[in-house]
C-alpha cells in the first residue's frame, strides 16, 4: 500500500490538482495558445523568405538560405531559443524592450522557420516546372509568378505538413520557461514546473501533459483528415484529366 500511496501522491494527487488546474487552464493554456499562434506566424514569414532564397536563381542567395537552415536545424531547440530569447536583449538588440513574451515567440518562430522553409521548398519543387514557364511566357517576372501562380498551388500540397509543424510549435513552447517569463506570462510547462517544485509532486506536470494532449491530439487527426481529403481530391482531378481505358464510351469512340 505504501508504494501505491507514493504513486498516487506523485502523479495523481487530487488536492494538488484542484489547486493547480485552474491556473493551468486560465493562464497556462491561454499563453501556450497565444505563443503558438505568434510563433507560427513568425515561422511562416521566415520560412517563406528562406524558401525563396533556397529557390533563388542567385547562388549567393541559395547559400545564405542553406546556411540558415543547416544552422537552426542542426542546433538543439533549447540552445537556439536561449541564444535568441536571452542573447538579443543582452547584446543590446532591444527589439521589444523588456517584453520577454515577444522574444519567446520570436525565438520559437525563427527556429521553426528553418523547418517550414523546407516544407515550402518541397511543395514548390513538387509542382510541374511548366507552371513557372507558362507564367513567365505571359510576361510575369519570377517573383510575380511565385506569388500569383506557384504559391497558391503549392499551398494546397503543403497544408497538411504545415499543420503538422504547428503541433511541434505547441510542444516547443514548453522551452520558453528558460527566458524567465513573468507570472502572468507563464505557459503550461512553467506553471506546472513551479507547482511541482512547491508541492513535491509531479501531479501538475501530469495535468499539463493532459492539456498539451488536448491541443495536439485533435491537431494530429486534423492533419490526417486534411491529407486524406487532399489526396482524394488530387485523385479525382487525375481521374478527370486522364481517361480510363476501361471506359466503354472511350472504347466505342476508338472503335473503327
* 133-182: pLDDT as tens digits: 787 788 887 778 877 788 777 877 787 788 888 888 898 888 888 787 77
Q: Which secondary structure element, helix H or strand E, spans residue 110, and what is its range? A: helix 100-125
Q: What is the pLDDT of residue 253?
A: 43
Q: What is the pLDDT of residue 251?
A: 47
Of residues 227 and 158, more confidence is placed in 158
Q: What is the pLDDT of residue 136?
A: 77
Q: 38-42, 117-121, 130-134, 213-217 — which is least confidently predicted?
A: 130-134
What share of the chain has pLDDT > 70, as a percent? 89
Q: What is the pLDDT of residue 255?
A: 45
Domain 12-242 in this protein, CATH class: mainly alpha
For residue 230, what pLDDT band results from cuts at 50, 70 and 90? low
For residue 71, what pLDDT band results from cuts at 50, 70 and 90? very high
Q: CA nearest 111: which of 171, 43, 163? A: 43
Q: Is 193 helix (H, G, I), strand (E, B) or coil?
A: helix
Are the CB atoms for 137 and 71 separated by under 8 Å?
no
User: What is the C-alpha R_g of the chain?
Assistant: 24
Q: What is the mean pLDDT of residues 182-206?
A: 88
Tell me the CA distances in angstroms from 196 to 9, 182, 203, one per residue in order: 11, 18, 7
Q: What is the pLDDT of residue 221?
A: 84
pLDDT at 110 over 80: yes
Amino acid at each position: 500500500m505504501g508504494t501505491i500511496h507514493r504513486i498516487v501522491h506523485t502523479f495523481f494527487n487530487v488536492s494538488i490538482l484542484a489547486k493547480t488546474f485552474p491556473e493551468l487552464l486560465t493562464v497556462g493554456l491561454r499563453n501556450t495558445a497565444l505563443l503558438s499562434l505568434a510563433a507560427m506566424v513568425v515561422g511562416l514569414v521566415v520560412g517563406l523568405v528562406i524558401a525563396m532564397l533556397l529557390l533563388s536563381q542567385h547562388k549567393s542567395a541559395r547559400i545564405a538560405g542553406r546556411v540558415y537552415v543547416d544552422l537552426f536545424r542542426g542546433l538543439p531547440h533549447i540552445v537556439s531559443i536561449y541564444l535568441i530569447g536571452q542573447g538579443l536583449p543582452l547584446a543590446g538588440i532591444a527589439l521589444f524592450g523588456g517584453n520577454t513574451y515577444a522574444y519567446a515567440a520570436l525565438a520559437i518562430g525563427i527556429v521553426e522557420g528553418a523547418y517550414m522553409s523546407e516544407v515550402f521548398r518541397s511543395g514548390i519543387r513538387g509542382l510541374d516546372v511548366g507552371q513557372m514557364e507558362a507564367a513567365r511566357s505571359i510576361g510575369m517576372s519570377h517573383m510575380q509568378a511565385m506569388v500569383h501562380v506557384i504559391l497558391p498551388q503549392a499551398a494546397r500540397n503543403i497544408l497538411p505538413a504545415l499543420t503538422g509543424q504547428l503541433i511541434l510549435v505547441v510542444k516547443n513552447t514548453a522551452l520558453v520557461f528558460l527566458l524567465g517569463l513573468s507570472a502572468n506570462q507563464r505557459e503550461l510547462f512553467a506553471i506546472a514546473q513551479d507547482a511541482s517544485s512547491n508541492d513535491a509532486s509531479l501531479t501538475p506536470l501530469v495535468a499539463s501533459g493532459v492539456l498539451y494532449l488536448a491541443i495536439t491530439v485533435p491537431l494530429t487527426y486534423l492533419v490526417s483528415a486534411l491529407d486524406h481529403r487532399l489526396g482524394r481530391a488530387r485523385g479525382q482531378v487525375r481521374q478527370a484529366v486522364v481517361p480510363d481505358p476501361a471506359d466503354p464510351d472511350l472504347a466505342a469512340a476508338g472503335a473503327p
